[in-house]
Structure 1
Amino acid sequence: MKPSNVLVLPGWQNSGPTHWQTLWEQRHGYRRVEQHDWMRPLRGDWIARLEDVVLGCDEPPVLVAHSLGCILVAAWAGVSRNAQRVKAALLVAPGDVERVEIREQLPSWVPIPLAPLPFRSVLLASRNDPYCSFERARGFAQAWGSQCIDHGDSGHINADAGLGSWPEGHVLLQDLMT
């Protein structure tokens, strides 16, 4: 698989320079799906952008989503006629946009789609994620038909978790790519 067909989907406010998604892009040549507005994300705009990028891939892409990026994958798969083009998705630390404090800031992202994804997926959830309870993340995995992996106490599985380039996560991605 060509690195340009591994699509990195950051969450709200994008992934910074020390986030594993950014490090993977730099190290492996993966491609970030750039959104028009990282600070005030609109679901319809993000879905349209993902659709454009998926249609531009010359082979079935693998999606690498973090936080709001996971919700984007579910939302896009629920409306796209091209979701079957995706080979697989790695879904890391989904953000629960239905929580009151988040819903008020991201109103266009509610409700969270809970239909099965039409491609293979693995969801990693942390037991102490401040943006989504482990039980809720496990519920997303079940609804989406994703394999759920308990990542222990890893916060939001982001740069603050001290994962660096997160080699064990990359092994999971490589498994999805084959």
Structure 2
Amino acid sequence: MKSPWISIFYDKENNRTYFYHLKDYKVVEGSYSSQGSLATILSGVVGVVLYSLLRHYLLTLSTTFLVISSVISGLVISVILVFVVDKIISGNFQGRQVSLEHIPASFFKEGAKQFNKQLRIVIVLLLLALICSYLLYDSNGELILFFITILSWILPTFVLAFLRPFKRKKMYALYKKNQLLIENGGL
């Protein structure tokens, strides 16, 4: 990813995420609108409709080929999505600079805890993707399992790409050693 923004901490109370800019050494605050329940309801309805339409269709290819093609398709789709979303974010992200007085040490400490939880979620998602791949391999070539396996590989790859684990761990380690440059001035 080319975006210079790395997430530090998500403040649940104020619905704000704090980011560190790798090149400008600044901490900014970004806010997001929370997802409405309409999107959740629609995704559930779409899932039920797709299942009812596709549950009886079988692909007559070998299951090994289906598993390999579903995993590769999922990974390719997630890489394309990461590049598209990264391009949109890096061009449109506007954050409000935070003064040094408003950047408590707890942001980095709590952010590291949030990051570790997110990594555990990615590991669980990868295990679920492996389980879906096994179920597809063990099936008769069901089309619905093929699509579920593709989706199960998209999600952990996409989430892992935006977590930026290596840069984020390095940032937290530098902060812990008081070596992270933060050049936020007064506002």
In our comparison, the structure showing a higher alpha carbon Rg is 2
**Where is the helix percentage greater, Structure 1 or Structure 2?**
2
Normalised to the residue count of structure 1, the TM-score between the two structures is: 0.26
Normalised to the residue count of structure 2, the TM-score between the two structures is: 0.25
